[in-house]
Amino acid sequence: MIVKVADFFTFLNRCFSEGVGKFDEIILPVKSSKENNNLHFASIKKGARFDFETVQLDTYRTIDPVKVLYYLSREKVLPAHYPPKRRLIIGVKSCDLRALEILDKAMINNEFVDQAYKHWRDNAIIISTDCLSITNTCHCTLTGGKPYSESGFDINLSKSFYNYHLTVGSQKGEELVEFMKKSITIEDDKPDILKNVANQRQEVIELLNKQNEEYFRSEDYSGLINSKLSKWETYSRECVGCGGCTNICPTCYCLILNDETKSEQFVKVRSYDSCQLNGYARVAGGGTPRPKMAERFRNRYMCKFSYMKSNFNTIGCTGCGRCTDVCPAKIDFRRTVSYLDK
């Protein structure tokens, strides 16, 4: 299906100003400042006025992973009461949707369900968008991904000049499209638009391939997985163990649980933890399986390329590049992977 970009924004505008669609919150990527090209997710509440000039749906991923909208940095897990809140999340990129697939396996499975996560998942509609440009750390294609989504969305939008090519990915998406049709025009697909979308997608893949040419990696990461600790020591020398990389990673979800009980009702709160921190695996008496920074550094890579592969049948890196951007020691994740895997 085809919808005009201007029409789509008209629809969004009505969602805000007239409460159309009954969304309590609309979340989309906006430019963080005039000085740089970073994007972050901004939340727009019902009735608020909004400057669409800063919105960037079709470029590259945001700085904050979509994880922060589903797996909050701090969340009460007992008692598990969450506000009924319908959210429309727009501009989610393919790397983040793949990360949500991993989090889904980690949080909603046969053994347990994290109720907060499930609540936010159930009450949001995702409109994903193709990447038409990339950041200089993006490397989704090295991890088996593509700069556009083929599943995991309710609706996907691929921009082609003044139009969006719209793909429906779920029942929820289908219903939203029917609803949109009441106020804006949605047309059938046109061959020239489809062709242009396919061409653009290929161009972005080529951009990624060119950018990441030098970052070799094997199919099964066996070189990395079998690397001796001395090699890890060399590549982790600069790491200060701040844990920035794990906090920003869309697939990291290690948590610490606190008891915040004040009265009769027990209260448990979870928040992010990081395997890069010294105390992470420390047990009573002071013992820890990974006392050296190099061991903790290795743990993150092993978790992504070996442990998560065993646990979830998919590697835990979607190639978003955020960990490289955030690192105060300027450690390039891609480069480290390729050095270690050789």
Partner 1 sequence: MHNPYEVIPGKIYDIIQESPLIRTLRINLEKPISFKTGQFIELSIPGIGEGPFTPSSSHYISETMDVTIMKTGFVTEYVHKAKVGDRVGIRGPFGSRYPLEKFECKDLLILGGGCGLAPLRSLFLTLLHDVEKYKSITFLAGAKTPQDCIYKDEVTNWRKYDNVKFLRAVDVVPDGEKWDEEVGVVTVLLKKAKINTAKNPAVVCGPPIMMKYGTMDLLKMGYKEENLYLSMEKKMYCGFGQCRHCVMGKYYACKDGPVFTYDQIKNEEAIWD
| Residue 111 lies near partner 1 (rule: CB under 8 A) | yes
| Residue 284 lies near ligand FAD (rule: CB under 6 A) | yes
| Residues of span 89-108 touching partner 1 by CB under 8 A | 106-107
3-state secondary structure 230-269: HHHHHHHCCCCCCCHHHHHCCCCCCEEEEECCCCCCCCEE
Torsion of CA 278, 283, 287, 291, to 10 degrees: -20
Tell me the residue number closest to ligand FAD, measured at CB: 284
160/157 Cα distance (integer angstroms): 9
Which window, 19-27, 58-66, 88-96, 280-288, contacts partner 1 (CB under 8 A)? Answer: 280-288
| Residues of span 227-266 touching ligand FAD by CB under 6 A | 256, 258
Reading the block at residue 173, the tokens are 């998406």
Residues 6 or more apart from 179 whose CB is under 8 A from it? 21
| Residue 74 lies near ligand FAD (rule: CB under 6 A) | no
Binding partner of residue 108 among partner 1, ligand FAD, ligand SF4, none, CB cut-off 5 to 8 Å per kind: none
| Residue 331 lies near ligand SF4 (rule: CB under 6 A) | yes
C-alpha 27: how far from chain center: 14
**Beta carbons of 31 and 39 less than 8 angstroms apart:** yes
C-alpha atoms less than 13 angstroms from C-alpha of 158 in its C-beta half-sphere: 22
Of positions 51, 112, 230, 313, contacts partner 1 by CB under 8 A = 112
Q: Which is nearer to partner 1, 33 or 230 (CB)?
A: 230
Binding partner of residue 78 among ligand SF4, ligand FAD, partner 1, none, CB cut-off 5 to 8 Å per kind: partner 1
| Residue 290 lies near ligand FAD (rule: CB under 6 A) | no
| Residue 256 lies near partner 1 (rule: CB under 8 A) | yes
H/E segment holding residue 119: helix 115-122
Which chain residues interact with ligand SF4 by CB under 6 A?
Answer: 239-245, 248-251, 276, 304, 317-323, 326-329, 331, 333
